[in-house]
Amino acid sequence: MTTMYVVLVLALLGAAGAVFAFVWVVRSGQLDDVDTPPRRILFDD
């Protein structure tokens, strides 16, 4: 079961990393405009 605790800590660290990545994405403004980009991918040039 000791392995379990090691993995648990690793998993939580991974989750914390994901949260920081998300916070960075939000702060950098990538989610400010969510209306226009989905339309932009329709242009093929």
Partner 1 sequence: MTVAAARLAGCAHCGLAIPAGRTEFCCIGCEVVYGAIARHGLGKFYDLRETPAPAHTTTRTYAELDDPAFERVHVRRQGALATAALYLEDLRCTACVWLVESSPTCVPGLGQVRLDLGRSRVDVEWDPATCKLSQIAQHLDRIGHAVHPYRGFDRDRQHRVEDRRLLTRIGVAGAALGNLMLLAVALYAGLFEDMSVGDTTGFRWASMLVAVPALGYAATPFFRTALGALRSRRLHLDLPLSIGIAAGLIWGSANTIRGVGEIYFDSLSMLVFLLLVARFVVLRHQRRASTAAELLLALTPSRARRVDPSTGVSTDVPVEALLPDDVVIVLVGETIPVDGVVTRGTSAIDLGLLSGESRPVDVGFGARVHAGTVNVAAPLEIMVTATGEATRVGALVASIDALAQRRAPIERLVDRIAGRFVAIVTLVAAVTFVAWSAAISLGVGAEHAMALLVVTCPCALALATPLAVTIALGRAARRGVLIKGADALERMATPGVMFVDKTGTLTEGKLAVVSWRGDLDAAPLAAALEAGSNHPIARALTAYVPPAEGTPTNVNEQLGRGMSGSIGPHRVVVGAPSWVATQCHPGSQLDTWVDDLATRGQTPIAIAVDGRLVAVAGIADPIRPDAAAAVHALEQLGWNVRILSGDDDRVVQVVGAELGLLPASCRGGITPEGKTAAVLAAKVDHPVVMVGDGVNDAAAMAAATAGIAVSGSAEVAIEAADIYLRDPAIGTIVDVARGARDTLATIRRNLRWSLVYNLLAGTLAVTGLIHPLIAAIVMPFSSLTVLASSLRSRAFGGRR
d(CA 27, CA 10): 26
Handedness of CA 14, 15, 20, 22 (dihedral sign): positive
Which residues in 23-42 contact partner 1 (CB under 8 A)? 23, 26-27, 29, 31-36, 39-40, 42
Please pick, from the candidates 3, 6, 10, 12, the single residue that binds partner 1 as defined by CB under 8 A: 12
Q: What is the DSSP letter of 36?
A: S
Least Cβ distance, residue 37 to partner 1 (angstroms): 10
d(CA 7, CA 39): 41
What is the binding site for partner 1 (CB under 8 A)? 1, 4-5, 8, 11-12, 15, 18-19, 22-23, 26-27, 29, 31-36, 39-40, 42-43
